[in-house]
A and B are shown apart, each in its own frame.
Chain A
Amino acid sequence: DAGITQSPRHKVTETGTPVTLRCHQTENHRYMYWYRQDPGHGLRLIHYSYGVKDTDKGEVSDGYSVSRSKTEDFLLTLESATSSQTSVYFCATQGAYEQYFGPGTRLTVT
C-alpha cells in the first residue's frame, strides 16, 4: 500500500464550473499520474509529473491542467467542466516497475 489518498471521493458539479481534484502520497515517489477510467476505454493518461513543478501531457489532456508544488501533492483541475468529463479519476505514483493507485474520485458533470 503506497499511501495514496484522493479528495474528494465523489463530486457532482455543473457544466462550466471549475473543479480541482487532489492527490496526496506519503511514499516520496517522484512520478505521479492522473488517469480517467471510462467503460470501453480502460485507463487513459491525462497528465503526469516527473518532479516538483515538472509536468507533461498524456493522451487525453485537453480541458485539464495540473500542478505539483510539493512532492506529495498533485492537483488536477478542470478549468470549465463539461459533461464529457464525467468519469472516474485515478491518481497513481510510480514505484520500481509498477504503479500504485489511489481509490479514485467519481466526478459527475450535470
Chain B
Amino acid sequence: TQLLEQSPQFLSIQEGENLTVYCNSSSVFSSLQWYRQEPGEGPVLLVTVVTGGEVKKLKRLTFQFGDARKDSSLHITAAQPGDTGLYLCAGAPPSYNTDKLIFGTGTRLQVFP
C-alpha cells in the first residue's frame, strides 16, 4: 500500500511568516498534486507537478517535486489569513491506468492577522 505522509499536521502562524509543508513517501509517483480545502467545501487543485526536480510557483506559493519523485514540498512566503485551510497532497501511482490518487492526511494551516 502506498502512503503519503504530510508534516506538520497542524501549523499556526502569524501573518507575514514563511512556512513549508512536506509530503513524503517511500514510493514513486508519476505525478503529484496539491489541493487546498476550506471549511465546508471540497478540495481545490492548486498545482500538478510531473517531472522529478520540477519547481512551480503560484504567486507566494512554491511547489517542488523531489528528484526521485517520492516527495514534494509546498513553501508559502509571507503567509496571509487567506491562506488558512487544509492542504492536501495527492500522488498518482506509476500504474495510473485506473486513475486512482493516493491522498496524504493533510496539513491544517491557520494564519492569524
Closest to A95 in B: B45
Q: Are B99 and A43 in contact (CB under 8 A)?
A: no
Given contacts A41-B105, A94-B99, contact A104 B42 (CB under 8 A): yes
In the complex, A103→B37 CA distance in Å? 10
- A17 CB to closest chain B CB (Å) equals 25
Q: Are B40 and A104 in contact (CB under 8 A)?
A: yes
Q: Are B105 and A40 in contact (CB under 8 A)?
A: yes
Determine which of B40, B44, B48, B100 lies in contact with A97 in the assembled complex, contact meaning CB atoms within 8 Å. Answer: B48
Which residues on the B side are within 8 Å of A43 (C-beta)?
43, 88, 90, 103
1/0 contact trace for B63-75 toward A, CB 8 Å?
Answer: 0000000000000
Which residues in window 38-61 of B have CB below 8 A to A? Answer: 40-45, 48, 50
Q: Are B44 and A101 in contact (CB under 8 A)?
A: yes
Q: Are B45 and A90 in contact (CB under 8 A)?
A: no
In the complex, A18→B1 CA distance in Å? 31
Q: Are A90 and B33 in contact (CB under 8 A)?
A: no
Q: Are B50 and A97 in contact (CB under 8 A)?
A: yes
In the complex, A103→B105 CA distance in Å? 19
Given contacts A97-B48, A103-B41, contact A42 B105 (CB under 8 A): yes
A109 in contact (CB, < 8 A): no
Which of B31, B44, B99, B105 has most chain A Cβ within 10 Å? B99
Determine which of B35, B41, B44, B48 lies in contact with A104 in the assembled complex, contact meaning CB atoms within 8 Å. Answer: B41
B98 in contact (CB, < 8 A): yes
Q: Are B99 and A50 in contact (CB under 8 A)?
A: yes
In the complex, A99→B35 CA distance in Å? 10
Interface contacts beyond A48-B98, A98-B45: sample of 8 additional A-B pairs, CB < 8 Å, sorted by A: A4-B42, A42-B104, A42-B105, A48-B100, A92-B42, A94-B99, A100-B45, A101-B44
